[in-house]
Each structure stands twice: as C-alpha cells, then as structure tokens.
Amino acid sequence: MNIEIINTGNELLSGKIQNTNLDFLIKNLARLGARLTQISVIPDNLEIISSTLRAALERNVEVTIITGGLGATYDDMTLTAVAKAINRPLMLDKRALIMVEDKFEYAKKLKWANGAEISDHWKKMAIIPEGSIPLNNPPGAAPGVQIEYNKGKTIFCLPGPPEELKAIFRTAVRPFLQARIKVKSPEAHFYVLGVIEPSISDLIQETFTKFKGVWIKSHPMLHTGKLALEIHLTLQEGYSSADLVEQAKQYIMELLEKVENAKIIPELEVK
C-alpha cells in the first residue's frame, strides 16, 4: 500500500516545533508494511494545502495522511483546503458535533471554557467535508476525519498535537491499514564492526544484484563513537516472498565474514 504524508504548520517550517509526528508516522507505517512514497511539509496556506493534496490524489497513492490544522482558530484551515481539493462542500456534521460538545462540557467542568453555550469557534471543529467520517479524539477537542475518495483512495486528517495524533492513529488509522495490507514488508538488520562503507560497497552491490526485490542500505554509525555500519534490508514493493530478506541477509553476512577486521553483531549498544 502506497502512502503519502502531508504535514501542515508554519511552526514546522520555522523550526519552532520539532516534527515528532513525522518520526512517529514513519516508524509505525514501516512496521505495518506500508510503503511511504512521499513526505511534504507545508505552511498553513489554503492554496498550498489544497494543491498538495490534489497532487497526491493524482499519484498512485492509496492513503494520504494530513496532519495539523483541525482546531478552532483562523489558521486551522486544513479541512477547508481538503474540501476544495476534492470538490465537496463543508457541513456541520452531527456526529462530530456530539464529540465536540462532549469536550466543551468537560472543559466547562474544569473551568477551561467560558459561557454556558458552545460558541461558533468550538463548532468550527465539527464542520467537515460532506461524506466524511469523524474520528474520536480522546485527548483533544478536534475530531480527526476520514474521507473515502474516488475509487479506493482514503484521506486521513489528524490533529497536530502529538498525543492527539497518536491516539487517533492507534484507534482508527492503524486498524484500517492492518485490515488492508495483506503482504507485510519484512525487514532485517545487523551491524558490522571494523570496516568503513567503501570497503564493502562491492559486497552490498553483489547481494543487491543477486536478490532482486531486496533493498540493501548501509548506515555509518560513527556518531556512536564506534567504527560500525548498520546493514538494513527491506523487501521492495511488488515482491511477496517472506524468505527473500532472510536469504539476502545470510548471503551478505557470509560475504562479510571473509572481510579482514570485520565483526558481525546482531545489535549495537549505544550509550
């Protein structure tokens, strides 16, 4: 399954906020066996959000995940941009409104919200594109949104605050993906000490050539203070053999065992 991520937020581009959401999504999508094809980090700009989503929908992508911009303030414009991109009207969704009203009442009890009646700023978080499914947001007020679009394409709109994004990913996005990703993407890794990347590049290329469908990448680990490389193997899209990665791993390990000063270890302790 091909997936794109679109992170919105001026604060991400200015460096004010570290993009921990991206790290979380990349790692969790990889574990599920999804293929992440593109990442975009864009500002809170209606035209840019809309055009970026439209471009993603035109590519061979089954799922697009958009983060940020679902709140109550003027710069929370993601759903307006999504509605524009997919040519659907915005509407006050009854299911989403119930979710928002529950959070308003809770905020009133804690004296975090003023007024006896829910305001239009609160209701704004329940206005979503027609045909959308609101997703409950346990830690926050703004529901996430799931949209089915045009022959099997799905858009998930998730809030920007990390705990809210993680909660909705775990309760809604992850089950959705698990039910649809039939072939997992096996991965394997190990470490080799005592060598530098250029000295084993030919062995990596030999293994890559022999095992079509397995992507092999070496990652220098000099930042750990050790002369070490991580060798990471991943099954590429279009290949379903669960044994292929393990076969390639064993093959390159046998080659590396013959390299002078090379020592293979399963894990690298980093202090």
Rounded to whole angstroms, the Cα distance separating 236 from 160 reads: 30
Superfamily of domain 2-180: MoaB/Mog-like domain (3.40.980.10)
Check pLDDT > 90 for residue 185: no
Question: What confidence tens digit (pLDDT) does each residue in 134-165 have?
Answer: 999 999 999 999 999 987 899 999 999 999 99
What's the pLDDT band for 116 if we cut at 50, 70, 90?
confident
* DSSP-derived pairing of the beta strands 127-129 and 90-92: antiparallel
pTM of the model: 0.77
pLDDT-above-70 percentage for the chain: 97
SS3 126: helix
List the one residue out of 27, 40, 33, 37 whose CA is nearest residue 3: 37
CA distances from 68 to 49, 141, 184, 236 (A): 11, 13, 29, 30
Q: Which residues contact 111 (CB under 8 A, 6 or more apart)?
A: none
- Token reading at 201: 């590049």
Check pLDDT > 90 for residue 242: no
User: For the structural domain made of 187-265, what CATH number should be given?
Assistant: 3.30.70.1130
Strand locations in 77-152 (E)? 90-92, 127-129, 133-135, 144-149
pLDDT of residue 5: 98
pLDDT of residue 31: 81
Rounded to whole angstroms, the Cα distance separating 49 from 12 reads: 14
Burial 168-204 (b: 16+ CB within 10 A, else e): bbeebbeeebeeebeeebbebebbbeebeeeebeebb
Check pLDDT > 60 for residue 14: yes
Sorted by where each begins, the domain ranges of the chain are 2-180, 187-265
Question: What confidence tens digit (pLDDT) does each residue in 42-64 have?
Answer: 999 999 999 999 999 999 899 99
The number of C-alpha atoms within 13 Å of 122 and in the hemisphere containing its C-beta is 22
- Which runs of consecutive H residues, i.e. helices, occur in 110-228? 120-123, 162-168, 174-180, 197-210
Residue 166, φ and ψ in degrees, nearest 5: -60, -40
